[in-house]
Amino acid sequence: MAKVATMEDLFLDEIRDLYDAEKQLTKALPKMAKAASSEELRTALENHLEETENQVERLEQIFEMLEQKGTGKKCAAMAGLIKEGDEVAKSTEDTAVRDAGLIAAAQKVEHYEISGYGSARTHAQLLGHQEVVSLLEETLKEEKQADRILNDLAESSVNEEAGSQSGKSHGAKNGRSGAKTRSAGSSSSRE
């Protein structure tokens, strides 16, 4: 494994990690969209796929700006998050409950990206890569917006329907479990 000695090395590693993560997502998002049972969720995931393709291109631009070869470095975290999303899809029926699970999985992905792009942006700033900062910020905005859209879906129709599918033995708690799902969704970062 190549030594990471300087901030410049660390920063490049972060970009390579994000590049691999986004490429994994261009393959995973269509599958998640296909698994979605609600039209709204499917559309949201498909829209974010388009953004993700642009984000891949932005990272390629960044490699050019830094005069570096555009190669990724396997992002183990994204592979794990995608695997969990896949497990949710496989272990549920094609219902609103699956959608609630898919939204939660997709929000974990967005939060990972928000954190990765946030750090990379700060490091680019520190290193004086001003044009790179702007590109990273564009993507960061899209990731935050994607998270907000998913959050709105979690708080609206999708999870309300899922809440109404609580087990019969919990009948009396139906309303409450719906409320719980909503507050869990709304705990996600909003800026």
Residues at the interface with Fe ion (CB under 5 A):
17, 52, 55, 75, 77, 113, 143, 146
Q: Among 17, 99, 142, 143, indicate the residue that binds Zn ion (CB under 5 A).
A: 17
Q: Residue 11 in contact with residue 124, Cβ under 8 Å?
A: yes
Q: Closest Cα partner for 13 from 76, 73, 77?
A: 73
Considering the rule CB under 5 A, would residue 135 count as an interface residue with Zn ion? no
Considering the rule CB under 5 A, would residue 22 count as an interface residue with Zn ion? no
Instruction: Give least dist CB 118 to Zn ion, A.
Output: 12
Instruction: Give least dist CB 29 to Fe ion, A.
Output: 8
Taking contact as CB under 5 A, which single stretch among the options 20-28, 135-143, 160-168, 169-177 is the one that binds Zn ion?
20-28
In order, the DSSP letters of 11-51 are HHHHHHHHHHHHHHHHHHHHHHHHH--SHHHHHHHHHHHHH
Instruction: Give least dist CB 50 to Fe ion, A.
Output: 11
Residues 68-127 binding Zn ion (CB under 5 A) are 75
Nearest to Fe ion by Cβ — which residue?
75
Residue 160: both structure tokens together: 């309300």
Work out whether the CA dihedral 59, 24, 144, 114 comes out positive or negative. Answer: negative
